[in-house]
Chains A and B, each alone.
Chain A
Amino acid sequence: MKDNPFSLWVYLSQSPLLWLTVTLLVYAGTDAVSLATRRHPFANPVLHAMWIIGAFLLLTRTSYTTYFAGAQFVHFLLGPATVALAVPLYENRKRVVASIVPMLVALVAGSVTAVVSVVLLAELAGLPREVVLSLAPKSVTAGVAMGIAESLHADPSLAAVAVILTGIMGAIIVTPLMNRTGVTDYRARGFAAGLAAHGIGTARAFQVDEIAGVFSGIAMSLNALVTSFLVPLAVTLLVR
Chain B
Amino acid sequence: MLGSLGLILLCQLIGEVVVHGLGLPLPGPVLGLLLLLILLLARDRFSLLARGPLRNDGVETASKGLLAHLSLLFVPAGVGVVQKLDLLASHGIAIIFVLALSVVVTLLATVLTFRLVSRLLRQQDAQ
Partners in one complex: yes
A4 at the interface (CB under 8 A from B): no
Alpha-carbon distance A177/B79, docked complex (angstroms): 27
Tally of chain B residues near chain A (CB < 8 A): 69
From DSSP, what is the main secondary structure of chain B's interface residues? helix
B41 at the interface (CB under 8 A from A): yes
Residues in B whose Cβ lies below 8 Å from that of A191: 110-111, 114
User: With A50-B81, A71-B75, A166-B103 given, is the CB distance from A87 to B110 under 8 Å?
Assistant: no
Identify which of residues 97-127 in chain B touch chain A, using a CB-to-CB cut-off of 8 Å: 97-115, 117-118, 121
Residues in A whose Cβ lies below 8 Å from that of B73: 74-75, 77-78, 81, 199
Say yes or no: A87 contacts B115, CB within 8 Å.
no
B66 at the interface (CB under 8 A from A): yes
Say yes or no: B103 contacts A110, CB within 8 Å.
no
Alpha-carbon distance A12/B82, docked complex (angstroms): 21
Contact-residue size bin, chain A (C-beta under 8 Å from the other chain): 35 or more
Residues in A whose Cβ lies below 8 Å from that of B64: 84, 87-88
On A, residues with C-beta under 8 Å from B are: 23-24, 26-27, 31, 45-46, 49-50, 53-54, 57-58, 64, 67-68, 71-72, 74-75, 77-91, 93, 99, 101-103, 105-106, 109-110, 113-114, 117-118, 121-122, 125-128, 131, 135, 138-139, 141-144, 147, 157-158, 160-170, 173-174, 177-178, 181, 183, 185, 187-189, 191-193, 195-197, 199-200, 202-203, 206, 219, 221, 224-225, 228-229
On B, residues with C-beta under 8 Å from A are: 5, 8-9, 11-12, 15, 25-30, 32-37, 40-41, 59-60, 62-64, 66-67, 70-84, 87, 91, 94-115, 117-118, 121
